[in-house]
Structure 1
Amino acid sequence: MTRTIALACGLAMGGSVALADMVAPTEVSFGDYGSVEQSLTGTPGDPEAGREVMVSKGIGNCVSCHAAEDYSDVPFHGEVGPPLDGIGEYRTEGELRGILINAKMTFPGSVMPAFYKVDGFTRPGNAYTGKAAEGELDPLLSAQQIEDVVAYLMTLTD
């Protein structure tokens, strides 16, 4: 069921995601230091869509914790997370994907949300969860949104 919901999310966003290539949140394989080398969708990310996820308060809301010169036009940058300027030069796609999926695999004490995880934690309430099916939770971001954010972050170079 999770794959079906993720596929629907990808298609609704204008993507063409093949179900066979979709990696469900419970099937993610983490490597050394929390990296995830395998694409979640098999479809390249769209950097422009990734930027929208990053700066939208109702989607990723990354701007609330991270600053970057590239989106300095967006108000109210947070300072909880590190600045993202140049991150595309010192992090790999696999490292960024892993951090987005579940930052605690790389940084155990991180307060960054796990954007592609559906179990093993308590969400703040049903208004913030979205149910894929009775008893199942949707991840905070779809597989394609994760790939889009990774693609965008890779453009942030000095």
Structure 2
Amino acid sequence: MARAIQIAGAWLGAAWLALPLPAGAQALRSYAIVGDAIPDRLTTTPGDAVRGRALVVERSSTCILCHNGPFPEVRFQGDLAPNLAGSGSRWSEGQLRLRLVDAAHLNAATIMPSYYRVDGLDRVGPSWRGKPILSAEQIEDIVAYLASLRD
């Protein structure tokens, strides 16, 4: 039993260290939620799908820990959340954006982090308080990539 607790503790510690660094103390850009989406980009320029894919498959962004998808080079993809293949066919860019910014807005019981929301969060480590996990640019890059997944 003690060995199992030790192993579980090691896994939790590794998962904590794998989390991305906060996006910084920069001011959050305002956004408006309309229905089940954030229709307007958080940035003035479109996201870059190549950078977005790199963020999705990078373990420190945590996407790949819960999701799987069309990433044949990535071993040990998650199975706790929806497969990302075909995301662009299932959701609009605005719907994808809201899921990244604040998935809890759509499902209060979700385990998906709010990657761009900072207010109203209870269980946040001191070094993360008041800071988004991803920057507005990173959110837009991931949206661009996920929207490109049509099959």
- Shorter-normalised TM range: 0.7 to 0.9
Aligned pairs (5 A) from 1:8-47: 24=28, 27-33=30-36, 35-47=37-49
Alignment correspondent of 1:94: 94
Which whole-Å deviations, capped at 9, do the CAs of 1:55-112 have from their partners, x for residues lacking one?
A: 1122x2200000002x131122111111111111121000000110001112232110
Counterpart CA distance in 2 for 1:74 and 1:80 is 16
Which structure has the larger Rg over C-alpha atoms?
Answer: 2
Aligned pairs (5 A) from 1:51-90: 51-58=53-60, 60-69=61-70, 71-90=71-90
Shift in alpha-carbon separation, 1:123–1:154, aligned structure 2, 3 A: same
Aligned pairs (5 A) from 1:85-124: 85-124=85-124
Q: Choose which of 137, 141, 158 in structure 1 pairs with 2:134.
A: 141
User: What's the secondary structure of 1:137's corresponding residue?
Assistant: coil
1:152 equivalenced with 2:145 (yes/no): yes
User: What's the secondary structure of 2:59's corresponding residue?
Assistant: coil
Counterpart CA distance in 2 for 1:5 and 1:42 is 16
One-letter identity of the residue aligned with 1:42: T
Shift in alpha-carbon separation, 1:111–1:4, aligned structure 2, 3 A: closer
Alignment correspondent of 2:52: 50
Supply the RMSD in Å over aligned alpha carbons. 2.1
Structure 1 residue runs without a partner (length 5+): 7-23, 130-135
Aligned residue pairs, count: 129
Taking structure 1 as the reference length, the TM-score comes to 0.74
Which whole-Å deviations, capped at 9, do the CAs of 1:33-66 have from their partners, x for residues lacking one?
A: 2x100100121000011011111122x2200000
Structure 2 residue runs without a partner (length 5+): 1-22
Counterpart CA distance in 1 for 2:124 and 2:39 is 30
State percent identity of aligned pairs: 37
